[in-house]
């Protein structure tokens, strides 16, 4: 590649989970430190970071089609500089370099603190790949948090040791590690100073977080949440994603005790059949999952539940799929994510017998999603008439309209004289399948 001008504008496109979004924000901050500014909406950027996700097939294909779109019909000096980051970069870095000559940088999720150095090389015309996994080193090397959204993310834990047989995350993100307590309290304070009202603690297995508080006492996620709740100006705390195996009594109790901890729990179950769960290497049964939820609901009766599901895991029979539907009926989720099983290279499930036909998966997904949508709408209807606190996150489609989140993570829109970042009382007037129309109660603009 030829040496090129230093990029002046950037765009970071994140395709994956919330941790991937967090990584994208941190990369943007690093580029900002270098004096590179976000490209204005609708304009081409000089540097595009494709922050990829490897969890299912289509996501990786999307990366290649994006590269094609960015470079189509453009000579090298007109095309943007392209960096591929995220989990596809980790898993297929070499392949990307070989298959897409337009890419100048490939950087894995544990190595992106080195993006500025790689950029220097790229400007000199050198292509660079970094997919090392030093994990914790990354955070220390990142710049301070200076700007943020009212609802912010904070990665507290990374990696996964659970090795569910279908999943690439243990390979793309590496082993479970927890960021130190002190660093997290500091970063949370910085986020609040920068305007955050709500912080969602992130981790592939956030409930596996462990550390030592400033007195040297061992603490788990509940202890961390208790201490973060003392941060002045922080109004709401959430966490995601949890694994049923790591949920302890302390965390359950925290839901009943800490007002700032929002009444919402995302706890993936994946399937309703114990045989399938075992083949997935999930360490819970349908029944142990339901009993766990009962304990959470006893601590916090208005808790809204969310989950993840996979249909068509190898060998899943019609009867086993019915067990997933039964579990959904038993829980009554407020929202949920559901996916068709996607064989991932290198995972045990990819070579299991009994791969399920696409048409069967399509039909199962449709039935599951119909049930989940029905329950989501029912949950929304059950909150009609309530007045609750809404965190204003952005402007709505129409002038004077605002969009925010209820404590139960529903989107609510309403009109009134408010601003982004305000916490306001809103009466939920009419429930739709995906959001609620609200009416602003008395509010004195800040
Ligand atoms: N650590 C979290 C989330 C992991 S990825 C957890 O354990 O739940 C998010 C979701 O993607 C998973 O919960 C699962 O439902 C889905 N998923 C992961 N691998 C998949 C695959 N190979 N095919 C389809 N869905 C998958
Ligand atoms: Fe993947 Fe399972 Fe780990 Fe979640 S717990 S990241 S699904 S291996
Ligand atoms: Fe995707 Fe990586 Fe997250 S594979 S779901 S971006 S951990």
Ligand 3 site-directed mutation target among 13, 18, 86, 175, most atoms within 8 Å of CB: 86
Q: Beta-carbon neighbour count of residue 133 at 10 Å?
A: 18
SS3 at position 441: coil
Q: Please report how many Cα atoms fall inside a 13 Å half-sphere around the Cα of residue 5, on the Cβ side.
A: 10
Q: Which listed ligand is nearest to 271 at the C-alpha?
A: 1
Q: Rounded to whole angstroms, what are the CA distances from 311 to 196, 209, 321, 416?
A: 37, 29, 7, 43
User: Is the Cβ–Cβ distance between 97 and 83 less than 8 Å?
Assistant: no
Q: Quick one: tokens of 338?
A: 């559901």
How many whole angstroms from 167 Cα to the centroid of ligand 1? 6
Q: What percent of the chain has pLDDT over 70?
A: 98
Ligand number nearest CA of 347 is 1
Question: Residue 249: in which H helix or E strand, if any?
Answer: helix 249-257
The Cα–Cα gap between 98 and 112 comes to 20
Q: pLDDT tens, position by position, for the chain (446 residues)?
A: 777 889 999 999 999 999 999 999 999 999 999 999 999 998 999 999 999 999 998 777 888 999 999 998 887 778 899 999 999 999 999 999 999 999 999 999 999 999 999 999 999 999 989 888 876 678 888 888 877 799 999 999 999 999 999 999 999 999 999 999 999 999 999 999 999 999 999 999 999 999 999 899 999 999 999 999 999 999 999 999 999 999 999 999 999 999 999 999 999 999 999 999 999 999 999 999 999 999 999 999 999 999 999 999 999 999 999 999 999 999 999 999 999 999 998 999 999 999 999 999 999 999 999 999 999 999 999 999 999 999 999 999 888 999 999 999 999 999 999 999 999 999 999 999 999 999 999 765 55
Total count of residues recorded for the chain:
446
Q: How far apart are CA 237 and CA 223, in angstroms?
A: 13
Domain 138-382 has CATH 3.80.30.20: yes
The ligand with the least distance to the CA atom of 170 is 2
Residue range(s) in the chain whose domain bears CATH number 3.40.50.12160? 9-130
Using DSSP's 3-state secondary structure scheme, residue 110 falls into coil
- CATH class entry, domain 387-445: mainly beta
How far apart are alpha carbons 266 and 307 in whole angstroms? 5
Considering every ligand atom shown, identify the ligand nearest to the alpha carbon of residue 240 and give its number: 1
Beta carbons within 8 Å of 359's beta carbon, 6+ residues apart:
none
Q: Is the peptide bond before 241 cis (omega within 30 degrees of 0)?
A: yes
Residue range(s) occupied by CATH 3.80.30.20 in the chain: 138-382
Q: How far, in Å, from the CA of 308 to the mean position of ligand 1?
A: 7
Task: State the chain's maximal CA–CA distance in angstroms.
Answer: 64
**Angular region, 163: left φ>0, alpha ψ -120 to 50, beta rest:** left
Ligand 3 atom closest to the CA of 168, numbered from 1: 4
What H or E segment, with its residue span, contains residue 65? helix 57-71
Pairing mode of beta strands 47-52, 81-85: parallel
pLDDT tens per residue across span 198-217: 999 999 999 999 999 989 99
Residues 6+ apart with CB under 8 A from 158: 19, 109, 110, 135, 173, 174, 176, 177, 179, 203, 204
DSSP letter for each residue of 275-302: HHHHHTT-S--HHHHHHHHHHHHHH-TT
Q: Is the CB of 243 under 6 A from ligand 2?
A: yes
CATH code for residues 9-130: 3.40.50.12160
Decide whether any atom of ligand 3 lies within 6 Å of the 114 Cβ.
Answer: no
Structure tokens at 284: 């819970």
- Which residues of the chain form CATH 2.40.50.140? 387-445
107 lines ligand 3 (CB under 6 A): no
* Pairwise CA distance, residues 139 & 48, whole Å: 22
Q: Which residue has the tokens 């592939």?
A: 204
The pTM is what? 0.93
- Residue bearing the CA closest to ligand 3, atom 1: 53
The alpha carbon of 165 and the centre of ligand 3 are apart by a number of angstroms equal to: 16
Atom of ligand 3 nearest to the CA of 59: 1
């Amino acid at each position: 590649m030829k040496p090129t001008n230093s990029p002046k504008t950037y765009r970071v496109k994140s395709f994956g989970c919330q941790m991937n979004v967090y990584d994208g924000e941190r990369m943007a901050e690093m580029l900002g430190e270098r004096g590179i500014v976000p490209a204005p909406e609708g304009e081409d950027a000089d540097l595009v970071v494709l922050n990829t996700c490897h969890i299912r097939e289509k996501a990786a294909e999307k990366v290649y089609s994006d590269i094609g779109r960015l470079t189509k019909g453009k000579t090298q000096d007109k095309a943007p500089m392209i960096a591929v980051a995220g989990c596809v970069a980790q898993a297929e870095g070499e392949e990307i370099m070989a298959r897409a000559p337009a890419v100048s940088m490939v950087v894995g999720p544990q190595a992106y603190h080195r993006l500025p150095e790689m950029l220097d090389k790229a400007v000199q015309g050198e292509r660079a790949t970094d997919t090392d996994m030093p994990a914790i080193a990354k955070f220390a090397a990142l710049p301070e948090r200076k700007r943020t959204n009212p609802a912010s993310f904070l990665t507290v834990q990374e990696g996964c040791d659970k090795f569910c047989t279908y999943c690439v995350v243990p390979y793309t993100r590496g082993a479970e590690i927890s960021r130190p307590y002190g660093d997290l309290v500091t970063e949370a304070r910085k986020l609040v100073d920068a305007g955050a009202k709500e912080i969602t603690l992130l981790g592939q297995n956030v409930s596996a977080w462990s550390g030592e508080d400033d007195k040297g006492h061992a603490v788990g996620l509940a202890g961390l949440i208790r201490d973060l709740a003392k941060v002045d100006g922080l109004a709401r705390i959430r966490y995601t994603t949890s694994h049923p195996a790591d949920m302890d009594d302390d965390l359950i109790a925290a839901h009943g005790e800490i007002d700032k901890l929002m009444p919402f729990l995302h706890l993936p179950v994946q399937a309703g059949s114990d045989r399938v769960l075992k083949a997935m290497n999930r360490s819970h049964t349908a029944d142990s999952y339901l009993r766990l939820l009962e304990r959470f609901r006893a601590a916090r009766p208005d808790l809204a539940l969310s989950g993840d599901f996979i249909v068509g895991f190898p060998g899943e029979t019609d009867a086993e799929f019915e067990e997933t539907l039964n579990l959904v009926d038993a829980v009554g989720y407020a929202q949920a994510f559901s996916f068709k099983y996607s064989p991932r290279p290198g995972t045990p499930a990819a070579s299991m017998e009994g791969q399920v036909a696409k048409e069967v998966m399509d039909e199962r997904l449709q039935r599951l999603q119909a049930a989940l949508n029905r329950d989501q709408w029912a949950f929304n209807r059950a909150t009609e008439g309530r007045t609750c606190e809404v965190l204003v996150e952005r402007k709505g489609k129409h002038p004077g309209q605002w969009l925010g989140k209820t404590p139960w993570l529903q989107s609510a829109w309403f009109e009134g004289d408010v601003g982004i970042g305000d916490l306001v009382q809103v009466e939920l007037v009419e429930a739709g399948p995906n959001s609620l129309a609200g009416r602003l109660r008395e509010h004195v603009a800040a």
